Amino acid sequence: MDGATWFQIKTRIIMPQLLPMFGVMLLFSLISGFQIWEAIYILAPYDSTASSLYRVISDGFFFGKYGFASAECIGMILIIFIITKIKERIETH
């Protein structure tokens, strides 16, 4: 740190320590983005504004398509798993 400029301290010391935390925050934000449904149901109860979890809830509980809703949940789990593996691969390299 002796003789390093302000920019070098920020880019070579502070940023590498903060990047794993930013990655975890990004992953949690993506997962919570898939899981939001209350605000959509209250503010705009139409299918044109639905999120993926709202479609699962409407298919499973409102329309009685339990198998289809279960398949949609498995698809969401796979998408979240793939995003998590991509994040882990980026962090290890």
- In whole angstroms, what is the distance from residue 93 CA to residue 82 CA? 17
In this structure, what are the phi and psi dihedrals at residue 91, rounded to the nearest 5 degrees?
-70, -30
Domain membership of residue 66 (yes or no) is yes
Domain range for 79 is 20-92
Over 70: is that where the pLDDT of 45 sits?
A: no
Domain membership of residue 51 (yes or no) is yes
pLDDT digits over 7-25, tens only?
999 999 899 899 888 888 9
Domain membership of residue 5 (yes or no) is no
Helical spans, DSSP H, in 10-65: 15-35, 38-43, 52-57
Nearest alpha carbon to residue 32 among 93, 90, 83, 85: 83
8 φ/ψ sector (left φ>0, alpha ψ -120 to 50, else beta)? alpha
pTM: predicted TM-score of the whole model, two decimal places:
0.66
How many domains does the chain fold into? 1
Query: How does residue 74 score in pLDDT terms, banded at 50, 70 and 90?
Result: very high
